[in-house]
Amino acid sequence: ERCAYHRKRELMKNIVNGSHIPYLLHMSWTKNKDNKIKFFQQMGLWYVSDQCTSESQLESLGPMRENEASDTCCMAEPVPTCHYKDKPSIIPCKDSPPIDEGRPSFWK
């Protein structure tokens, strides 16, 4: 189903509760890469360890063999992280600030 992350509240709640499993969630509307990562983290869909999220961090790890990068950078389970209370999240983020001023919590 085509959807807009921030417009189809009921679909996002179904993804959060596990009754709808997306096969692709693309966020082309985000402001930048850092913002995109925050949305994926908040939804529990980010499987990249913190040490591998930027080029400079990857460079500091040095050269890696074929499977070493996936062993170092890929997590078996995501670690949900709250960033914004007014955007969908896999865990309640009521105490986080809104990204859009004046917007109510997703978890009303």
Q: pLDDT (tens digit, 9 = 90+) per residue, 40-97? A: 999 998 988 888 877 777 777 777 776 677 777 888 899 999 999 999 999 999 999 9
Task: Say if residue 6's pLDDT is above 70.
Answer: no
pLDDT at 16: 85
Q: Give the predicted TM-score (pTM) of the model.
A: 0.69
Asked if 97 and 85 touch (Cβ cutoff 8 Å), the reply is yes
DSSP helix, strand, coil percent of the chain (3-state; round to 5): 30, 0, 65
φ and ψ of 74, to 5 deg: -95, 130
What is the rounded distance in angstroms from the CA atom of residue 90 to the CA atom of residue 84? 12
φ and ψ of 48, to 5 deg: -105, 130
pLDDT at 73: 82
Q: Which residue has the tokens 């807009």?
A: 4
